[in-house]
Structure 1
């Protein structure tokens, strides 16, 4: 009878420890072999448009000084002392922030400086065109 009792107490057990060890080793292997690649490149922060396309095509005002010292704005001869007032009237019709100054090479520097001072008094930028 003793033999029979030993068989009743003898149950089949499966040891799970080696299987868990293998699972953890495989997990570590996959973590180590996975490559964490950061893509190289530049981060670009593009500015947002503040003006429409039509606003960016503003025309500049052309101020020419010919070889005789005459100041010509929009095909009209303007007195040296009235340049600022005439440009102000043009700005009321077509606002811009740039004046193009085209002076002949024989004009005195005094005339050019007088025109430039009046344009600067209006707070505008001056682009000087030189002919070579």
Structure 2
């Protein structure tokens, strides 16, 4: 019996399944990624050792940049517009809310005081100043 030998083809890599997987990954990452519609406020917060306060639903977030630009809930605003907005909330409402001030550590102290004074005049009794968490040597040794 004479069997014919089949011509052996050289092995080759099939690219079709690999391309399918890459496209599926691309689609997955495009769907699961969130995009910011407007630019964020670049704030370099000072470090502090105070305990972290839980964020509340009823709070007013105010950002103060190094240049003195003021943002309310991430939208540019002036001091007078901030005052008008807080007046519009009413004193009874502001007494139950937290005024969260996120001031850049290089912002002028006078600007920070002006913003805090506007909050006080409009009835805020709870003022939180955002800071970055400090890392002390004890925390590093404990591995936290």
Give the structure-1-normalised TM-score.
0.49
Rg bigger for which structure?
Answer: 1
Greater length-normalized contact order (CA 8 Å, ≥ 6 residues apart): 2
Give the structure-2-normalised TM-score.
0.45
Whichever structure has more helix as a proportion of its residues is: 1
